[in-house]
Amino acid sequence: MAVITSVEVFMVMLEPKVRREDAIQAFVCQETPFVRITDSDGAQGLGYSYTIGTGGPAVLSLLEKTLAPALLGKEADEIEQRWRELLFLTHATSVGAITSLALATIDTALWDLRCKRSNQPLWIAAGGAQSRIPLYNTEGGWLNLSTSELVENALECQENGFAATKMKVGLSVKEDMSRLRAVREAVGDNFEIFTDANQAFRVDEAIRRAHHYEELDIGWLEEPLPADDLQGHIRLSQQTSVPIAVGESIYSALHFREYLQQNACSVVQVDVARIGGITPWLKVAHLAECFNIAVCPHFLMELHVSLCAAVPNARWLEYIPQLDTLTHQPMQVENGYGLPPSSPGLGIDWDLRALERHTLPGSYQRLTR
């Protein structure tokens, strides 16, 4: 083992590849905090998280002023201990998005460092349960797209070997059903269609819509209600055959426990950045496994492909390419499946010059022991 001698913090700004709108918001910019950790042997790990356009400076400030200084001189390989120390250090601001995103940035860097030191890819070091994960495409299903565009995109996904697509919902019931029906008729019955409401509905509206969606054999209804409405999700789950998916807006493993214990969901979409890193992500995935519940994580496909491959209950990986401008090679896709990288570490082939070009001016800070 080796102690941490320096921590670098910086922010990269990315524009979405396409216009992305859902029922409650637009994805206008990806603020991407990064942390590079160097140990006393000279080994390095690079980690990151993200926002969809707000809060990034707060994450960066928490990293610079509180979390990064607490890492200096500590053993890099004691990841569980580091995570718990930092969580306790920020207990007055937990549970919440800003703290979780900051913790995730550090935790992913520590896992990258550990895997590089042991010469293992993340998916092997974290479990090695699967060698490929089926993909579903969200990029062609945004709410701002017309029905003809949705159909065209779904057919293109099908032609490229994908077995599923996801469509945003949140227009009127009539409009949503018309769009969903058009896609179902185009792709046939042997193609999964998932839906995502982005927390837009109240309980009565979610129940009503779920009954309509049953007609089209929808694969799941994602985030139908605000994530903190546990009782609402229980009611909804009891009144529909459509699987209910939650997780991208849940920031604590204990909150996932409540959902699972109360039979409030059928699919867990734990997000590695929003849960606080790889360390808690694996705990949630294995907790879901104990309830015989599938894990289908939200966004960050370049990182989640390795985590999905690490656990046995990962069923789908969300396809939204976002890091292509920052990497030499994109995530490997073969016949509609995402393949975990074989290189040591997170396996993301970063283009360091591109990272420098996209770094927000004035955001770089380096702390040393």
Contact 218, 195 (CB under 8 A): yes
> Residue 207 half-sphere exposure, CB side, CA atoms within 13 Å?
11
CB neighbour list of residue 25: distance below 8 Å, 6 or more residues apart: 52, 198
Asked if 116 is an active-site residue, the reply is no
HSE-CB for 308 with a 13 A CA cutoff: 32
Which candidate in 116, 233, 298, 304 is catalytic?
Answer: 298
Which stretches of 169-276 are assigned E, i.e. beta strand? 192-196, 221-222, 244-246, 267-268
Q: Please give the single-letter amino acid code of residue 52.
A: I
Find the catalytic residue in 116, 168, 233, 255: 168
The answer to whether residue 65 is catalytic is: no
How far apart, in Å, are the Cα atoms of 229 and each of 202, 226, 233?
Answer: 10, 6, 6
Q: Residue 146 burial by CB count (10 A; 0-12/13-18/19+): exposed, middle or buried?
A: exposed
What CA–CA distance (Å, rounded) separates 221 from 196? Answer: 6
CA dihedral (16, 20, 26, 27) positive or negative: negative
Which residue, 288, 272, 268, 292, is CA-closest to 280?
A: 272
The catalytic residue positions are 168, 298
